[in-house]
Amino acid sequence: MSVETAPAARDRRRFGRNIVIALPYAWLLLFFLLPFAFVLKISLAEADIAIPPYTALLNWVDDATVTIQLTFSKYQFLLDDRLYFAAYLNSLKIAAITTLLCLLIGFPIALFIVSRPPHARFFWLAIVMLPFWTSMLLRVYAWVGILQSNGLLNTLLLDLGLIQQPLVLLHTDLAVYIGIVYSYLPFMVLPLYAVLEKLDAALLEASADLGARPAVSFFTITLPLALPGVLAGCLLVFVPATGEFVIPALLGAPDTLMIGRVLWDEFFSNRDWPMASAVAIVMLVILVAPVMLIRARGNKKPEVA
């Protein structure tokens, strides 16, 4: 019976680690890089009345000659047409405001859940995750019934005598903010809870013993230690909210311009797949570039003097 040598055992362990590491890279290659490359290819083509509705990048002139036809006209059109710039700007504005609202609402909720006894936290977490058990489309339609002129909210306010006539809530920017905050609030609460749960309560007790007020302890201890959860929650809300389409389409006004609606119009109304792909590529760069910069700064080790 042969005994495995130490170098052979190390090689086997190294091979196993490489296989485990390769799995997430293969996932990213298959479901991110390849679709991204495909969309990038379409954005460099021209719209055409064909199936698929865009020109080919490689054209065979004869058996031995291939021509490559790339066009950047769609990107140039993005720079020249202020409609797309306004759509990007409005999407970023709505996403930033909803992210801030989710943070202001989600942080107290996460603190409340952490302050509960351990056996009661599961119940409150289940309440937070309860919307995930139903379709997002149904939840948005429910808000249509709540916010419309004869809906639940206006009926309640009229019955209480707080208003004399129904408020215009549906098909406004306010309705869009309400819908996005409601839909993405759990994505803010859960990362904050995961970080705050690990917070050492002894630090707050020591701060109180030293005479610090609760507000001072929050801004000097709780908030700095919760920053990883704040950053994760903000990214989980901001990135999908920027490209949101369903909520602005159902709750927003016809002139609520967001990049998700622009993408839908380009793909399905105008059937201009290259233009829609260019819009998607630019949006991806706008969203991914700051994330990569933040990650690079976070991974940068401080220099030792």
| pLDDT digits (tens), the chain, 305 positions | 455 567 777 777 777 787 888 888 888 888 888 888 889 999 998 888 878 888 888 777 766 677 788 888 889 988 888 888 999 999 999 999 999 999 999 999 999 999 899 888 999 999 998 888 888 888 999 999 999 988 899 999 998 888 889 889 999 999 999 999 999 999 999 999 999 998 888 888 888 888 888 888 888 888 999 999 999 999 999 989 998 988 998 998 888 888 888 888 888 888 899 999 999 999 988 888 777 776 666 565 545 44
| β-strand partners of 68 | 58
Q: What are the tens digits of pLDDT across the range 226-256?
A: 999 999 999 999 989 998 988 998 998 888 8
Residue 4, pLDDT score: 55
Instruction: Name the token pair of 122.
Output: 């599961």
What is the per-residue pLDDT for 28? 81
The confidence score (pLDDT) of residue 304 equals 42
Going by C-alpha positions, the residue among 133, 150, 136, 172 that lies closest to residue 256 is 172
Tokens coding 28: 């990213």
Q: CA 172 to CA 253: how far, in whole Å?
A: 5
Tell me whether residue 192 is exposed, middle or buried, using C-beta atoms within 10 angstroms of its C-beta: 0 to 12, 13 to 18, 19 or more. buried
Q: Considering only CA atoms, which of 100, 131, 143, 133 is closest in space to residue 237?
A: 100
Do the beta carbons of residue 234 and residue 192 sit within 8 Å? Answer: no
- What pTM was estimated for this model as a whole? 0.84
Amino acid in the structure at residue 68: I
Question: Residue 302: its pLDDT value, please?
Answer: 47
**Mutual orientation of helices 273-299 and 227-242 as an angle, nearest 10°?**
170
